[in-house]
Amino acid sequence: MRLNRYMAQAGVASRRHSEAMIAAGRVKLNGETVVSLATQVHPDSDVVTVDDRTLEVTADRKCYLLNKPAGYLTTLSDPFGRPTVASLIRDIPERVFPVGRLDRDSEGLLLLTNDGALGNKLMHPRFRCEKEYHVLVKGVPREDSLQRLREGVVLDGRTTAKAAVESIRRTESDTWLSIVLHEGRKRQIRRMCDMVGHPVMRLIRVRLGGLADRGLSAGKWRTLTHGEIEELEPVSSMTG
């Protein structure tokens, strides 16, 4: 495996930024400073360090995208016997866990992986993963209400981050909104919409970063390609 790819899989930086770090003399292979961008790495035997920090890559890392139906908890077990996403992913051979949360009453795209390091980085506030939702709200919000959602409302004493909010379809009494967030507080969209007087009736996550799969049926999952996984790689503070 080429060194810049190994670094990207370890969550250090993109391949391009990894090459810049190699050129700057910040990367060592088995204790020796790397001078060639074409250097190859054997993950099972080689030790790679960046600024004297050892990198780790999960062997045979896997990521999956699940279209979670409403009514399932985003957890692998529940002491009260309620349905969980574990029952939807029994055919996945690896032991995986959900990345982030999606409320029991919500539906849509959920990422699962067997790579704890990647999962932790994706959930870190520093990695502002963009998430898009289609939200059916009661009533027809006026423009000033939509603007409040865009600018942020106060939840638990803190103002929510700015969001992209647009009306995409209306019925006689309800409205579908597109809401794009860069943060993920508990039941955030439902609470935001309650604050402007338009309770959520249905909430669907339709995009996670660059991942959008409208052809994935409810309750079904698919394996992410290597390219899709690399696009998810968070660029850590080590790139600075």
**Residue ranges of the domains in the chain?**
3-57, 63-126+211-231, 131-208
pLDDT number for residue 236: 41
3-57 and 63-126+211-231 share one CATH topology?
A: no
pLDDT number for residue 235: 44
**Residue numbers in the chain where pLDDT is lower than 50:** 235-240
pLDDT number for residue 153: 96
The beta strands (E) that lie in the chain are given as 27-29, 32-33, 48-50, 53-54, 63-68, 97-99, 107-113, 131-138, 154-155, 158-159, 164-170, 174-181, 200-208, 221-223
pLDDT number for residue 239: 38
pLDDT number for residue 45: 83
Tokens 């870190």 map to which residue? 124
**Residues with active-site annotation:** 103
Give the separation between CA 134 and CA 22, rounded to whole angstroms: 42
Sign of the four-CA dihedral 80, 114, 134, 87: negative
Q: Which residues contact 224 (CB under 8 A, 6 or more apart)?
A: 63, 64, 65, 211, 232
Give the separation between CA 183 and CA 126, rounded to whole angstroms: 10
What fold is seen in the domain 3-57? 3.10.290
pLDDT number for residue 237: 39
What fold is seen in the domain 131-208? Alpha-Beta Plaits (3.30.70)
Tokens 């991942």 map to which residue? 211
Q: To 10 degrees, what angle do helices 188-195 and 143-151 make?
A: 140
Token digits for 161?
A: 């981050």
What fold is seen in the domain 63-126+211-231? Alpha-Beta Plaits (3.30.70)
pLDDT number for residue 221: 97
pLDDT number for residue 125: 66
pLDDT number for residue 238: 40
pLDDT number for residue 234: 57
